[in-house]
A and B are shown apart, each in its own frame.
Chain A
Amino acid sequence: MIEVKEPKRIPLIGSLQGMYTVFKHLFKKPITVQYPEEKAYTPARFKFRIFLSMDDCVGCTLCEQVCPNLSIRMIVVERNNPHNKRNLYPQVNFGTCTVCRNCEEICPTEAIYLTHELETARTRNNFFYSPEELQKTESEVKK
């Protein structure tokens, strides 16, 4: 246990010291990052967009079960995939996705994964990404 004490201060001089400390910041470099022109430092683990590799997906529905916000729904896509007999593929609603990364964590074949792609502005009409769209990058989806 340590008892905290009020530090010593000289009336008026202390306030002036504080003002001087603030004033010294005038000559320091601003820390603002002007976003669209300059990009902030984002580490490799800073992931956002969900991707799907449809060839690896086995349709086990684990990602649907683990998703806390029910953002992932399995839908049927007619496709010739020997691993995925039921033809079940995840469809993602990015409107409710909180990027908890549980789906990436639980996927047994690493078919569903997140990438570093961040700039994904969407309107409310196209939050739902079909399995085919999840395969493509954002710029291709927009086309």
Chain B
Amino acid sequence: MAEWTEVNFGPQHPSMHGVLRLRVKLDGEIVKEVEPIIGYLHRNAEKIGELQFYCDNMIYFDRMDYVAAMNMEVGYLEAAEKLLDIEVPERAQWIRVMMAELNRIASHLVWLGAFGLDLGMLTPFFYCFKEREKILKIFTEVSGSRQQLNYMSIGGVYQDVTDEALDHIRTFIKEFPKELNKIESLFVKNDVFISRTKGIGVLSKEMAIDYGVTGPMLRASGVEYDVRKAQPYLVYDKVNFDIPVSFKGDNLARFLVRVEEMRQSIKIIDQTVQKLPAGPYFNQKAKKPLMIRLRGQGEVYARTESPKGEFGVYLIGDGSLRPYRVRVRSPTFKNLSVLPALAKDQMIADLISIGGSIDLVFGEVDR
């Protein structure tokens, strides 16, 4: 239509997360068409994965969803260990669950702060990042890095958790729920926030399933589906937690589901700290020089629950030292595909609000 205004909500424009570019057609204040244009952060991670050893792929998976690197590592290792037929010691599995859940909280905190910024709330962002900083401190204590960790390795983890780190985690899980309640109350008690999120961007159950939406967005639309329960990996069948579900499907439901997920993660971390078994943290079969001499044959698909949704890794090994094919099913890419449908015939402000509620991290969409 000629009389529609075409506007970019582009990569340099401050409104969108990361490097998402939206080509939006506007009829005054009403959004008529949205076309997400992606690929500005494409780094060829899948192709690079075919060129190097199994253990080296870890750092590229760290950089996929860079705010939830541990979850990406867990996802890749689920596939790689299945392909290479390597067992993981019990202690390493518990450590992995602990770290993955800590990183889930960190990822949700980044989303929470950024969602506030999208809606114009400046302050909660800093409270969220203050809490996230504590998690990053734990990661530094354990792995030696803050974000791009390269902590887990094929057959376990590179370094054992220290007692100091466990102490940090214990104080964190003691203090965090209170802080989370405070941050949540800043949002949900605010009338303007409720008016910006309640009933906006309603994603129906059928539509969510049709588009392949996973993760908190799917659960906010009333589908009780979580890979951690549906197909437990690591030791998720030995810990006790609930799946938060909402039947509303709007922005507020997504917000509440994510906040409740953080509480459940705290519950999981609490159990892992208590039940952490003694023993080796590394499979000797994959240690030292052997870690680049691992050969895989066959093909394997493993799925895990990353903070954004179902993260699947598909690997083919042809018996050589390097994988023949690496393919990633990234949750945010699928979740983003519903944005044009949700934002159609809404206002500009709602487009921003819906875009914020999807939890976009562009390292993962573009790969």
**Across the interface, do B185 and A17 meet the contact criterion of CB distance under 8 Å?**
yes
Q: Return the CB mask of B186-208 against A: 1 if under 8 Å, else 0.
A: 10111110100010000000000
**Across the interface, do B185 and A18 meet the contact criterion of CB distance under 8 Å?**
yes
B92 to chain A, nearest CB (A): 15
A107 to chain B, nearest CB (A): 9
**Across the interface, do B243 and A15 meet the contact criterion of CB distance under 8 Å?**
no
Q: Which residues of A contact B224 (CB under 8 A)?
A: 1
Q: Does B171 contact A (CB under 8 A)?
A: no
- Give Cα A31 to B130, complex, Å: 8
Q: Return the CB mask of B243-271 against A: 1 if under 8 Å, else 0.
A: 11111000011001101100000000000
**Across the interface, do B56 and A4 meet the contact criterion of CB distance under 8 Å?**
no
Residue of A nearest to B129 (CB): A31
B262 to chain A, nearest CB (A): 12
- Give Cα A6 to B191, complex, Å: 12
Q: Does A75 contact B (CB under 8 A)?
A: no
Q: Does A65 contact B (CB under 8 A)?
A: yes
**Across the interface, do B189 and A7 meet the contact criterion of CB distance under 8 Å?**
yes
Q: Which residues of B contact A46 (CB under 8 A)?
A: 140, 144-145
A36 to chain B, nearest CB (A): 19
Interface of B (DSSP majority class): helix
Interface of A (DSSP majority class): loop
Q: Does A85 contact B (CB under 8 A)?
A: no
Q: Which residues of B contact A99 (CB under 8 A)?
A: 145
The answer, among B60, B159, B191, B246, for a CB contact under 8 Å with A14, is B191
Q: Which residues of B contact A14 (CB under 8 A)?
A: 189-191
Question: How many positions in chain A have a CB within 8 Å of any CB in the partner chain?
Answer: 38
Within 8 A of A (CB), among B98-156: 123, 127, 130, 133, 137, 140-145, 148, 150, 153
**Across the interface, do A100 and B292 meet the contact criterion of CB distance under 8 Å?**
no
- Give Cα A21 to B187, complex, Å: 11
Residue of B nearest to A9 (CB): B189
Q: Does B55 contact A (CB under 8 A)?
A: yes
- Give Cα A35 to B176, complex, Å: 26
Q: Does B178 contact A (CB under 8 A)?
A: no
**Across the interface, do A100 and B247 meet the contact criterion of CB distance under 8 Å?**
no
Q: Which residues of A contact B130 (CB under 8 A)?
A: 31
B144 to chain A, nearest CB (A): 4
Given contacts A9-B188, A9-B194, A101-B158, contact A3 B246 (CB under 8 A): yes
Q: Which residues of B contact A41 (CB under 8 A)?
A: 137
Residue of B nearest to A24 (CB): B182
**Across the interface, do B192 and A66 meet the contact criterion of CB distance under 8 Å?**
no
- Give Cα A6 to B253, complex, Å: 8
- Give Cα A62 to B143, complex, Å: 22
The answer, among B127, B143, B253, for a CB contact under 8 Å with A4, is B253
A11 to chain B, nearest CB (A): 6
**Across the interface, do B191 and A12 meet the contact criterion of CB distance under 8 Å?**
yes
**Across the interface, do B55 and A42 meet the contact criterion of CB distance under 8 Å?**
no
A interface, CB within 8 angstroms of B: 1-7, 9, 11-12, 14-15, 17-18, 21-22, 25, 31, 41-43, 45-47, 62, 65-69, 98-102, 105-106, 108
Closest 7 CB pairs of A and B: A14-B189, A68-B56, A45-B144, A4-B256, A100-B150, A43-B141, A2-B242
Known: A15-B190, A43-B140. 17 other contacts (CB 8 A): A1-B243, A1-B244, A2-B245, A3-B244, A4-B245, A6-B198, A6-B256, A7-B189, A12-B191, A17-B185, A45-B159, A68-B56, A98-B148, A100-B58, A100-B148, A105-B158, A105-B291
B interface, CB within 8 angstroms of A: 52-53, 55-60, 123, 127, 130, 133, 137, 140-145, 148, 150, 153, 158-159, 164, 182, 184-186, 188-192, 194, 198, 224, 242-247, 252-253, 256-257, 259-260, 288-289, 291-292
| 19 A-B contacts (beta carbon < 8 Å) | A3-B245, A3-B247, A4-B244, A5-B256, A6-B194, A7-B188, A9-B189, A17-B189, A18-B185, A21-B185, A25-B127, A31-B130, A41-B137, A45-B144, A65-B53, A65-B292, A68-B58, A105-B291, A106-B291
